[in-house]
């Protein structure tokens, strides 16, 4: 892959190249082929990403891989064109600029990133992922094992293994709340506000990645997000209570090494 991108103009950061490689892999399209045709194809996507933050590129890649982008049935299994990818980048960027917040009714839903909302999200994630079948290429990498295989497994799990959590996160991305059960209201006292620019927030992001969980969307003007008190270690303290609030078994594992619902290759 490095031999391909080294000759592409404009240059892209290694992080953006990694996200694009994941997009290609999700549609079983080689990214590291050294042919001139392949170089030109990759260059089109690099041009589309020029001047874009890596986080935006990552979000759009996930939009396509998770099926969030509305496409005709004949195109859903095909790699989007660089023009289609650029259009989704524009759409996502404009959403961030608008920063619209949709009003919700507190009696039926709770605001995103708040203590009760987070309790609900964590209960879904702790329940474990659904089994999903990755593309042939990703399945092959996962089957090969090693650090790369585990990374792809976790990325695929985060993208496709938690549809209900994805629904919550997508609604939060548009400023919308989410309906929760009454039992979760009692979990608010176990949560604490975490500034999005601090080390604790970064530690939570790393913990989600380590567990293969989907991460939060851009919080916009909201500068704090609620998480269990005590940082990631605090999740082990309240994990069983969160599962009980969701009506599940408190014996379910809350460890990062839990591989229940592992993707099927």
The tokens describing 212, both together, are 């293969």
Least confident stretch, 45-49, 56-60, 97-101, 206-210? 97-101
The domain spans of the chain are 2-98, 115-245
Return phi, psi of residue 74, to 5°: -75, -15
Distance CA 237, CA 18 (A): 35
**Predicted pLDDT at 126:** 93
**Cα 50–chain centre separation:** 22
Distance CA 126, CA 124 (A): 6
Inter-helix orientation angle 82-98/36-49, to 10°: 10
The tokens describing 132, both together, are 């999903």
Give the torsion sign (CA, 183, 255, 112, 104). negative
pLDDT of 192-250, one tens digit each? 999 998 999 999 999 999 999 999 999 888 888 999 999 999 998 898 888 888 776 55
pTM, to two decimals: 0.57
Res 38 pLDDT > 60: yes
Percent of all residues in the chain with a pLDDT value above 90, rounded to a whole number: 29
pLDDT of 97-129, one tens digit each? 543 333 333 334 788 998 989 999 999 999 999
Q: DSSP per residue over 75-136, as a string?
A: TTTSPPPHHHHHHHHHHHHHHHHH-------TTT-B-TTSHHHHHHHHHHHHT-PPP-PPPH
Q: What's the pLDDT band for 17 if we cut at 50, 70, 90?
A: confident
């Amino acid at each position: 892959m490095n031999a391909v991108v080294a000759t592409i103009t404009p240059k892209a950061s290694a992080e953006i190249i990694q996200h694009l490689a994941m997009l290609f892999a999700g549609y079983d399209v080689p990214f590291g082929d050294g042919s001139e045709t392949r170089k030109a194809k990759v260059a089109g996507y690099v041009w589309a990403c020029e001047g874009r933050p890596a986080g935006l590129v990552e979000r759009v890649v996930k939009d396509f891989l998770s099926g969030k982008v509305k496409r005709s049935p004949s195109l859903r299994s095909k790699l989007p064109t660089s023009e289609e990818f650029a259009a989704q980048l524009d759409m996502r960027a404009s959403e961030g600029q608008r920063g619209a917040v949709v009003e919700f009714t507190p009696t039926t839903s709770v605001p995103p990133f708040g203590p009760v909302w987070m309790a609900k999200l964590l209960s879904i994630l702790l329940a474990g992922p659904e089994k999903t079948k990755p593309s042939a290429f990703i399945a092959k990498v996962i089957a090969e094992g090693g650090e790369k295989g585990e990374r792809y497994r976790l990325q695929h799990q985060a993208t496709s293994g938690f549809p209900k959590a994805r629904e919550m996160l997508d609604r939060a991305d548009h400023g919308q709340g989410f309906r929760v059960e009454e039992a979760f209201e009692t979990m608010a006292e176990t949560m604490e506000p975490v500034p999005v620019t601090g080390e604790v927030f970064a530690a939570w992001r790393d913990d989600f990645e380590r567990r293969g969980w989907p991460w939060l969307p851009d919080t916009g003007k909201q500068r704090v997000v609620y998480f269990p008190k005590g940082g990631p270690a605090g999740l082990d303290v309240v994990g069983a209570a969160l599962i009980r609030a969701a009506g599940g078994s408190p014996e379910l594992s809350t460890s990062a090494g839990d591989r229940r619902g592992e993707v099927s290759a």
